[in-house]
Structure 1
Amino acid sequence: MHLNIKAEKGNTYDAIVVGSGISGGWAAKELCEKGLKTLVLERGRNVEHVKDYTTAMMNPWEFRHRLQFTNEMKENYPIQSRCYAFDEATQQFWVNDKENPYNEVKPFNWLRGYQVGGRSLMWGRQCYRWSDLDFEANAKDGHGVDWPIRYKDIAPWYDYVERFAGVSGQAEGLPQLPDGQFLPPMEMNCLEKHVAARIREKYNDRIITIGRIAHATKPMQNGRQCQYRDLCARGCPYTGYFSSNGVTLPAAAATGNLTLRPDSIVTEVIYDEQKGRATGVRVLDAHTLQTVEYYANIIFLNGSTLGTAFILLNSVSNRFPNGLGNDSEQVGHNLMDHHYGVGASGEFDGFEDQYYNAGRRPNGIYIPRFRNVNAATRQKDYVRGFGYQGGAGRGRAGSSEGVGAAYKEAQLVPGKWGMSVGAWGEHLPYYENKVTLNKDKKDKYGLPTLDIDCAFRDNELAMRKDMQQSAIEMLEATGLKNVHGYDDMPPPGHCIHEMGTARMGKDPGTSVLNKWNQVHAVKNVFITDGACMTSSACQNPSITYMALTARAADYAVKEGKKGNI
């Protein structure tokens, strides 16, 4: 339905941002602070900071099912419940799988949060910069297309977003993992410190450092500071970690330029063939099912990798019969996710007189990439590399089963120290890994669903062997006993780091976006969520989305003022 002229005027803004998650929140903040009247459209429900974190302060015994899975949860959340952060306390932040179907051409775990803030409420919060090792990889080994940017282009924007978001960490001086603007690092426990020291003794090409994480380890804006509760996925009433709800959206709202509209499913971008530009977006109201159009000069798509791919593919016109900006036939292709679920764990004899001295630290250790970093570390079986995350701790000596006073007493006796490390590996950009619209299978709104056809291939499988073996060797070399490797091989999507589908590039014939995250053929549309990524590296990607978003918003506003958009 098209709106009349009066309604069109009332529905016109300077900018529209689709999605309110990590990148959408940053787009909202930057555009609002630069003076643009900005409409943020979120397909899910409204979640108000603090007020709607209804389980954040609950004790385990206050939950009806003591945080265990119920048959109803298994039935309605068969995919979401596979996530480590899903339980009775957090299920309200995850989509109902039965109500949000998609089609697995090959196994793919699409883990989603449809609400204001998106997955910024439940994310793992690990923040690692990319380096030129990552930005140059495609050009050097021939996989995918060359990135149109290098580290120097994004480095000042990493600085900018880290200072505002609050990222704690330890500077290490590694070229493959650039240091950032860090708050004081969290502390490793005694076994982690011991293993880190032994790693430095045994190896000259790797280290263990504390995780770099978006937690305020000292007071920041509005006094926000991490309380070491480790209940982050429930939403943090102390704003201890970075989320759109707690940090960027309030900053946007403080300008008076923000309009937030939840329950608004963006179905397509409106393209004006005579003007050669996008004029707005078409929205389906999730409750009334009525269609509304909103208009703006600048449009940012931040609906997540697959959400943005859907919008582009569903935005068809005479100019773009196969989807908005899809001249290159790359929209929907080159889907990536990190492959993980492989590593090793072991036990340690010692430190029986010590326990944790860092409270419930919501963080672990990190072992930066050390394979294919230079000629000395080049591998013959695979390209690219991986990093490890993990940690050490003590279990309980007593059995996990029992009843009565003796059982309770046994639970107070600490068990042996142990440590586990798991690898996150790079997934190459394959054209064959793709999403397409399935117009025969509709969702409850009558919209097409996505067919997801994505797999890990020979390079990832070869890498996994090294990911497991190196983990075993390191733990054994540092004194752990009974070391066991594992490889659970979860399917793509499970790492929740999906990337690609609208990649950046230098050539409009082989990419969707330019170096400023602009759609090549539609200069007033920007994409800065995971869809824009040209390769996946092995680092958690969210801090890179933030930096790219701030950079693109700055460019969009400056070019808009010049009349170039």
Structure 2
Amino acid sequence: MAYYNIDAQTQTTYDAIVIGSGISGGWAAKELCEKGLKTLVLERGRIVQHVTDYPTMNLDPWDSELRGGLTPEQKKKHYKAIRSGWIGTDTEHFWADDEANPYTEVKPFLWLRGHHMGGRSLLWGKQTYRWSDLDFEANAKEGIGVDWPIRYKDMAPWYTYVEKFAGISGEALGLPQLPDSHFLPPMELNCVEKHVKGRIEGSFPGRHMIIGRVAHLTKPLNGRGQCQYRNRCSRGCPYGAYFSSNAVTLPAAQATGNLTIRPYSIVQSLVYDDTKGKATGVRIIDAETNEDIVFSAKIIFCNASTLSSTQILLNSTSDRFPNGFGNDSGELGHNLMDHTYRVGALGKVEGFEDKYYKGRRPNGIYIPRYWNVDETTRSDKFLRGFGYQGGGYRGGNPANIESFGGEFKDQILKPGPWEFFITGFAECLPYHENQVSLNSEVLDKWGQPTLSIDAEFKENEKALNRQIREDAVEMLEKAGLKDVIGFDKDHPPGYGVHEMGTARMGRDPKTSVLNGFNQVHAAKNVFVTDGSCMTSSSCVNPSLTYMAITARAANHAVSELKKRNI
């Protein structure tokens, strides 16, 4: 990857400032730079160069001390995030330091963060699905929250636009509740997944099981290599096969000559000018020197991630905005959502002992939403719906620990039985009381107020989870699996890592923070296009929608700038 311009210490005025370099921030940088704007990206953490800074990308388990386990010091550093079960020595360097960046859980909430260039785009699961009008119209039809100011027709061309550049593999279904994307060839189901697919679709008309739609290249694209089926994605992909800011959007922005990235830049607040009626810049703290610096720009994109962007906006107070930037409605910080997770079923598949699979496919199966899709699928138990992810695999053959010698070696090399599991992701409704607020009593390493998070899943989400478990068990039993076990790990929000809301879009400034182009209602030169802008949560992974919303907003921003409207 080319060297990034980091001369921001001497230059303080730009056409645009982007806060954050993750999935949405990378897209904002690319779009603004390609449209000719001198753009400063403010990154809270360190620079991570594509390939160069992926130290564990090729390590095998035996190459790491403790076989990938964390040391006591590392566990202390990640004392909250470690609850996810996803942090090992192969990825520890990509997770934020919980001690330096504390937060308060009024109710249990897992906030997983990545403070480095690329953010969680280096860590995400890459599942990418379009929303439909079933999602964009749900609030209005049910009288929940506020109405989205956009519809699928507004987003469809932008979905296509980002898909063609990011590279999405998958297969077309023609389902109205799950619009098809612009696809690269799909990955292949393994033999057991094909078997289960036939059984489920034969027993449950209207239900479909497909390979997941993922931001993984199945053929080369724009100089990036195709997926090698290593399934070491969260360590950083040296082939650029999966979508990350580091491998895809930031290099495109850099190629224009218009990009400056400033690392170790902790955004303290936005600067508002009462006489101009707009933001004029961003105030940061240098994480290494503690120096206060103000950078100026004509437009500002907030892409620090859902809760971090909201934290910045809440901390940006002035005479005009005493309760947080753009918070005339009082909705800033409210309506926090996440998908429910870790509910489903698993079982054993008999037969297929003579078959295995090649490589480690970094993708599983997907069963799209089938409840509350139309009148024939209407449920009186809950609103909205859910989809399943999962897959079939062969585990290891557990050896008798009392064995030894040649017999023991032969035994551990034999694969175990085929197993299959599905876990559901259910939509969370936007509740005003699910909220975050600034906590001035708990400060971070740089003396800044932190967040208190007060959110929970309520009865509708719990009802969806009960249906997820019930349906999962029924489908696997009908598919002929043995020893089927349903599970519900009853986790709080945050484990889905799809936190959304807290600075929602809407039609009315009295009930929302942003308009239909992601502009702050009362300061049109500030755009918020990460997860905080979401008005509802759907039941599918949201990152593709963040990409499309960001590209659309950037196009509008430059158009308005040229017209001198902002």
TM over 0.5: yes
The residue number in structure 2 matching 1:387 is 387
* Cα distance between partner residues in 2 of 1:70 and 1:281: 38
The residue number in structure 2 matching 1:367 is 367
The residue number in structure 2 matching 1:497 is 498
* Cα distance between partner residues in 1 of 2:413 and 2:331: 57
By how many angstroms is 1:401 displaced?
A: 4.5
Equivalences for residues 305-384 of structure 1 within 5 A: 305-357=306-358, 359-384=359-384
* Cα distance between partner residues in 2 of 1:311 and 1:172: 41
* Cα distance between partner residues in 2 of 1:24 and 1:223: 20
Does 2:295 match 1:294? Answer: yes
By how many angstroms is 1:222 displaced?
A: 1.3
* Cα distance between partner residues in 1 of 2:93 and 2:400: 29
- Structure 2: which amino acid aligns with 1:306? L
- Structure 2: which amino acid aligns with 1:375? E
Does 2:122 match 1:126? Answer: no
* Cα distance between partner residues in 2 of 1:398 and 1:8: 58
The residue number in structure 1 matching 2:425 is 424
Deviations 1:297-331 (A, max 9, x none): 01000000000110100000000000000000000
Contact 2:200 2:479 in 1 (8 A): yes
The residue number in structure 1 matching 2:436 is 435
The residue number in structure 2 matching 1:42 is 43
Deviations 1:267-321 (A, max 9, x none): 1000000100000000000000000000000100000000011010000000000
* Cα distance between partner residues in 1 of 2:448 and 2:400: 47
Does 2:232 match 1:244? Answer: no
Deviations 1:344-380 (A, max 9, x none): 00001111111114x1100000000001111111111
* Cα distance between partner residues in 1 of 2:376 and 2:367: 18
By how many angstroms is 1:231 displaced?
A: 0.3
* Cα distance between partner residues in 1 of 2:300 and 2:10: 17
Contact 1:216 1:225 in 2 (8 A): yes
SS in 1 for 2:261: strand
By how many angstroms is 1:162 displaced?
A: 0.6
The residue number in structure 2 matching 1:24 is 25
Does 2:528 match 1:523? Answer: no
* Cα distance between partner residues in 2 of 1:83 and 1:362: 19
* Cα distance between partner residues in 2 of 1:213 and 1:178: 14
- Structure 1: which amino acid aligns with 2:530? D
Equivalences for residues 86-235 of structure 1 within 5 A: 86-235=87-236
Equivalences for residues 472-487 of structure 1 within 5 A: 472-487=473-488
* Cα distance between partner residues in 1 of 2:150 and 2:400: 52
* Cα distance between partner residues in 2 of 1:16 and 1:402: 63
By how many angstroms is 1:404 displaced?
A: 4.1
* Cα distance between partner residues in 2 of 1:346 and 1:79: 31
* Cα distance between partner residues in 2 of 1:25 and 1:531: 16
* Cα distance between partner residues in 1 of 2:179 and 2:483: 35
* Cα distance between partner residues in 2 of 1:561 and 1:408: 70
Change (3 A) 1:55 1:400: farther
The residue number in structure 1 matching 2:3 is none
The residue number in structure 2 matching 1:4 is none
- Structure 1: which amino acid aligns with 2:213? R
TM-score by length of 1: 0.97
* Cα distance between partner residues in 2 of 1:15 and 1:85: 35
* Cα distance between partner residues in 1 of 2:201 and 2:442: 55
The residue number in structure 1 matching 2:4 is none
Contact 1:518 1:526 in 2 (8 A): yes
* Cα distance between partner residues in 2 of 1:97 and 1:410: 42
By how many angstroms is 1:205 displaced?
A: 1.6
- Structure 2: which amino acid aligns with 1:308? S
The residue number in structure 2 matching 1:281 is 282
Contact 1:73 1:81 in 2 (8 A): no
Contact 1:394 1:417 in 2 (8 A): yes
* Cα distance between partner residues in 1 of 2:396 and 2:466: 32
By how many angstroms is 1:60 displaced?
A: 1.2
- Say what the alpha-carbon RMSD is for the aligned residues: 1.3
Change (3 A) 1:293 1:375: same
Equivalences for residues 408-423 of structure 1 within 5 A: 408-423=409-424
The residue number in structure 1 matching 2:449 is 448
SS in 2 for 1:259: strand
Change (3 A) 1:51 1:400: farther
By how many angstroms is 1:434 displaced?
A: 0.3
By how many angstroms is 1:412 displaced?
A: 1.1
SS in 2 for 1:275: coil
Contact 2:46 2:264 in 1 (8 A): yes
Change (3 A) 1:103 1:402: farther
SS in 2 for 1:221: coil
- Structure 1: which amino acid aligns with 2:87? F
By how many angstroms is 1:83 displaced?
A: 2.8
By how many angstroms is 1:200 displaced?
A: 1.8
By how many angstroms is 1:390 displaced?
A: 0.1
Change (3 A) 1:428 1:116: same
* Cα distance between partner residues in 2 of 1:294 and 1:552: 22
* Cα distance between partner residues in 2 of 1:292 and 1:63: 40
Contact 1:398 1:407 in 2 (8 A): no
Contact 1:131 1:151 in 2 (8 A): yes
* Cα distance between partner residues in 2 of 1:397 and 1:373: 42
* Cα distance between partner residues in 2 of 1:143 and 1:206: 27
SS in 2 for 1:298: strand
By how many angstroms is 1:142 displaced?
A: 1.2
Deviations 1:107-163 (A, max 9, x none): 000001000000000100000110000000000111110000000000000000011
Change (3 A) 1:396 1:367: same
* Cα distance between partner residues in 1 of 2:346 and 2:337: 27
- Structure 2: which amino acid aligns with 1:19? G
* Cα distance between partner residues in 2 of 1:416 and 1:277: 63
Aligned-residue sequence identity (percent) comes to: 61
SS in 2 for 1:222: coil
Deviations 1:414-451 (A, max 9, x none): 11111000000000000000000011111110000100
* Cα distance between partner residues in 1 of 2:295 and 2:537: 33
- Structure 1: which amino acid aligns with 2:106? V
* Cα distance between partner residues in 2 of 1:504 and 1:142: 16
Contact 2:224 2:241 in 1 (8 A): no
- Structure 2: which amino acid aligns with 1:521? A
Contact 2:502 2:533 in 1 (8 A): yes
- Structure 2: which amino acid aligns with 1:376? T
- Structure 1: which amino acid aligns with 2:512? S
The residue number in structure 1 matching 2:511 is 510
* Cα distance between partner residues in 1 of 2:409 and 2:442: 53
Unaligned runs of 5+ in 1: 1-6
By how many angstroms is 1:73 displaced?
A: 2.7
Unaligned runs of 5+ in 2: 1-7
- Structure 2: which amino acid aligns with 1:390? G
- Structure 2: which amino acid aligns with 1:440? E
* Cα distance between partner residues in 2 of 1:169 and 1:527: 29
Tell me which moved more, 70-79 or 46-55: 70-79
Tell me which moved more, 235-244 or 8-17: 8-17
The residue number in structure 1 matching 2:262 is 261
Tell me which moved more, 130-139 or 81-90: 81-90
Deviations 1:369-423 (A, max 9, x none): 0011111111111100000000001112333856743333211111111100000
SS in 2 for 1:436: strand
Tell me which moved more, 433-442 or 72-81: 72-81
Contact 1:277 1:523 in 2 (8 A): yes
Deviations 1:198-244 (A, max 9, x none): 12211112100000000000011114211110000100111110000
* Cα distance between partner residues in 1 of 2:417 and 2:118: 40
SS in 2 for 1:10: coil
Deviations 1:154-186 (A, max 9, x none): 000000001100110010111000000010000
The residue number in structure 1 matching 2:460 is 459
The residue number in structure 2 matching 1:3 is none
* Cα distance between partner residues in 2 of 1:219 and 1:391: 26
By how many angstroms is 1:59 displaced?
A: 1.5
Contact 1:398 1:413 in 2 (8 A): no
